[in-house]
Structure 1
């Protein structure tokens, strides 16, 4: 793996590898559905860092390095005892701050202050545990509709993809691919490009508005409560630096379907897709299972293509060719490049 990485660095210009730039550790990422922590600890790998997750005595998520300081066994193999995590090897027990609070073999002795494991900030948001490996430089993306009683939230996907999160972010704002990728779900041969493309940048976000003509197969007409084979999607998208996007899709009949997608970086070549949606309708108007099934079909069409792309994404736009509808992706790459520069980092260019 290391040899291939070196060869790629020489072969190409500047590329982005998420585990090689420390600034990515300073963002929040959803790592696991909170409901999955109701029992024993769970493992996860975030930016190449193995972590163990559990709920403390107050029901709040906790995250520590998945490595006991005693004999390096994985803490995620252990159990939760009174809101603390207990190692399966010798029973050493640690609180959410990573401090050892119990050594069964010395019940009456003092516990050394060196008996600690590294802990990380964790919180519950939108039904997922979010973790930051460093000192946060940005807030968790604010999805206002998640607190709006007029919207229902539907948890959709939680799975690893063999691609870079940046590729997925660009894809979400790419309105030229539906005609070719989403031929079975909503892509229209009559609408190769959007009728409207507008952009606004902030320090941590890119706001994108587009209007795209789409096709509606029978199952989608049922989900949308319409009887039209052709209609338009008005899309107000927000990309949150680095790997979260919110797509607010509005239809002429007043329905709003919001997709929130985060590609949590596991390592340089693998990302965990976390996706949920919000809709201003009810179960009686559109079944949750049908909504998930349709969005799943769309997502699998993307996955088939994106898993064939190079995961070492060049931030230097001269390294790939572009067209007009690639503008959101170009802005994203430039903002990430500016982030790295601002924090004293540059994308990898060569190995000496």
Structure 2
């Protein structure tokens, strides 16, 4: 699926930039190939409009913020958060034609990040209730570009088969490659929720973070996928520690995602430092990134295109739900053109198809 060619994906909220990044002035961001300028208005609220002045197409992100408005660096025209031009220095009669405007977009702050929807959103910003729970502390982990599709990242988050190989240096157990099946898998209107229990190895850093001395433990997992590219992973350990990770991938273009990740913990800085928590999760995510950036960004929604096994159930549901979303909005899956299948040589027989396994 080529995300930039699926208009319905513009109808979701994406975390695009930390609020703190706007404290120094306007910032440019590209979402689904749409160039944006982001800034804070006079009330400290984030705004997002098209990063092109309607006068002579200069990038507004190269301008400055004046009285809560974005001022174009070329001729000083100013625009408010809706994209309406509110000042033209060259006009002396104070009449500004209504055609002097740029496209504005829905923009909100949530969890310390700026969220943008390019069209009328189908869902709300994902609800992470623990952010408001005083028993939990929130820790920003990273904000960076990954050269992979958001859907690959989402599927990876629910794949209990990969940790024993990809994460064998951090918590995987490569000698035990067969994970337990899911305990439950519930489809939501715009997402899914899955639960499972995963045996894991405790590295020295993880022992420190979990306040455990044992070499082995289990992760009691509850994962929630928020269509299209957001997930919340709640990890509960036998000692009562809860470690929640939210990861959101904002598609810059078909091949690239801006990834935001923060976590929540029901412990204190005095018990385990944020630096130590970030260090362990950073090791895990870099292991994921190394593999995911080698995958094909054009993820097929047709489940017959790639092969699957029983641990791929959540990813199969994701693909089916996204395919259904496109169909419901009158869209077909956009794929990049590929070389045609080779013609069998004389005397060579083609492999016959076989019925799908039960998890497909």
Q: Say whether residues 1:311 and 2:297 are aligned partners.
A: yes
* 1:193 and 1:212 in contact (8 A); partners too: no
- CA-CA distance at 1:38 after TM superposition: 1.2
| 1:99-135 Cα deviation digits (max 9, x unpaired) | 1111111233411111100000000000000000000
Aligned equivalents of 1:235 and 1:322: distance in 2? 22
- CA-CA distance at 1:39 after TM superposition: 2.5
Q: Say whether residues 1:216 and 2:215 are aligned partners.
A: no
Bigger shift: 328-337 or 109-118?
Answer: 109-118
- CA-CA distance at 1:241 after TM superposition: 0.7
Aligned equivalents of 1:341 and 1:80: distance in 2? 42
Return the match for 2:245 from 259, 266, 278: 259
The residue aligned with 1:4 is none
The residue aligned with 2:309 is 323
Runs (4 or more) in structure 1 with deviation over 6 Å come to none
- In angstroms, what is the RMSD of aligned CA positions? 1.1
Query: Which structure's residues are more often helix, by fraction?
Result: 1
Return the match for 1:54 from 34, 39, 42: 39
- CA-CA distance at 1:348 after TM superposition: 2.1
For these two proteins, the number of residue pairs brought into alignment is: 336
Seen in structure 2, the aligned counterparts of structure 1 residues 130 and 349 have a Cα distance that, compared at 3 Å, is closer
* 2:181 and 2:311 in contact (8 A); partners too: no
* 1:49 and 1:65 in contact (8 A); partners too: yes
- CA-CA distance at 1:350 after TM superposition: 7.8
> 3-state SS of the aligned residue for 2:304?
helix
* 2:2 and 2:336 in contact (8 A); partners too: no
The residue aligned with 1:41 is 26
* 1:199 and 1:207 in contact (8 A); partners too: yes
Q: Larger Rg: 1 or 2?
A: 2
* 1:261 and 1:274 in contact (8 A); partners too: yes
Aligned equivalents of 1:73 and 1:189: distance in 2? 54
Aligned equivalents of 1:85 and 1:133: distance in 2? 19
Aligned equivalents of 1:103 and 1:34: distance in 2? 29
Bigger shift: 186-195 or 315-324?
Answer: 186-195
The residue aligned with 1:180 is 165
The residue aligned with 1:283 is 269
Please report the TM-score for the alignment, with normalisation by the length of structure 2.
0.92
Higher relative contact order (CA 8 A, sep 6+): 1
Please report the TM-score for the alignment, with normalisation by the length of structure 1.
0.94
